[in-house]
Amino acid sequence: MDSLDLQVLTQARDWHAEGQQVWLVTVIETWGSAPRPPGALLAMRGDGQVVGSVSGGCVEDDLIERVRNGERVARPSLINYGVTKEEAARFGLPCGGNLRLVQEPLQDTAWIDEVLARTARHELVARTLDLASGVVRVESAHRGERFEFDGTQLRALFGPRWRLLVIGAGQLSRVLAQMALALDFEVICCDPREEYNLTWDMPGTTFSKAMPDDLVLELQLDPHSAVVAVTHDPKLDDMVLLEALKSPAFYVGALGSRSNTAARKERLALFELSAEEIDRLHGPIGLDLGSKTPAEIAVSILAEIVAVRNGVNLTQKKLGSAMPESSGVCVR
């Protein structure tokens, strides 16, 4: 999941604390080309204000109108949209698209506090709602699980934010940080070199002057983490790679040419890294977009990170690039 769902829960909890009536709306099933996936979440209060999304906008408008007209469900209820071609067109769903939702009144926020606290500790949790009773249960979840709905219960996953650790505080890192923030990554920049770290002033990011390998161990990188080394200093870049390639991070890449990447892999092989771990390294980093400027290079790096996160084959790579044979799928 992305942090938008956590923002929805945070806002719903805050509205409830203010004494507002609040309903949560969850996408449980889609058919055809419905615009939002199962698990997508929206919170709505009694005056029609909403946060989050379950469609492209028209379904939200109808939900708001229902509440303003006094339709305020007191228990979890099912709502269907797009049953006919005409209704699908009316609500902005592509022809044949259908959307099935659960709308529930928010009566207790203790479970939201638990979800927010546990995801802040980088735990993956599942929230189960029993439609008959309205009872909510929060428990640990495992990688590979997905949203489930069996007709009587829905089980939605909530996980930590995607994290990007950038090694090096140069011009490329600044642009990379700005773009990563726009993509909803938590951004951490690390550079122990004083001539660089004294000028880092990127709002919304975290900065560390620690040695890169120490910081990797401190952060306890998980499958929601990506690492990019862009200092051009082998002492710093190699240090972080020695630890990051052993971690569960879904992406590890380093800036450099194909010849530099080959030399780097030879150096890494001198340490306690297996061939499989070394082969996880993405290099030259980024997709082949013909990038020249720092902004263009940042686009290519983030495009590759997003592709790997989404399990997309990396076809737009320079011939001879070092990269894993299969990018895999990182479960949200």
Going by pLDDT thresholds of 50, 70 and 90, the confidence category of residue 81 is confident
User: How far is the C-alpha of 237 from the C-alpha of 261, rounded, in Å?
Assistant: 11
H helices of 18-90, in order, are 58-68, 85-90
Query: Two tokens at 254?
Result: 């380093």
Strands 251-254 and 281-282: parallel
pLDDT at residue 176 greater than cutoff 90: yes
Q: Which domains does the chain have, with CATH numbers?
A: 3-158 (no CATH), 163-309 (3.40.50.720)
User: How far is the C-alpha of 170 from the C-alpha of 195, rounded, in Å?
Assistant: 10
User: How far is the C-alpha of 179 from the C-alpha of 250, rounded, in Å?
Assistant: 19
For residues 79-90, give the mean pLDDT. Answer: 66
CA nearest neighbour of 298 among 235, 247, 230: 230
Is residue 36 a contact partner of residue 76, using CB atoms and an 8 Å limit?
A: no
Choose the most confident range, by mean pLDDT, from 18-32, 138-152, 168-182: 168-182
Residues linked to residue 225 through DSSP beta bridges, in sequence order? 163
Percentage of the chain beyond pLDDT 90 is 53
pTM of the model: 0.69
Q: What is the pLDDT of residues 242-282, one digit of tens each?
A: 999 999 999 999 998 889 999 999 999 999 899 999 999 99
Reduced to 3 states (helix: H, G, I; strand: E, B; else coil), residue 91 is coil
State how far the alpha carbon of 72 is from the alpha carbons of 60, 65, 101, 123, in Å: 15, 11, 15, 34
Residues linked to residue 229 through DSSP beta bridges, in sequence order? 167, 254
φ/ψ bin of 306: left (φ > 0), alpha (ψ from -120 to 50), beta (otherwise): alpha
Reduced to 3 states (helix: H, G, I; strand: E, B; else coil), residue 219 is helix
Going by pLDDT thresholds of 50, 70 and 90, the confidence category of residue 2 is low
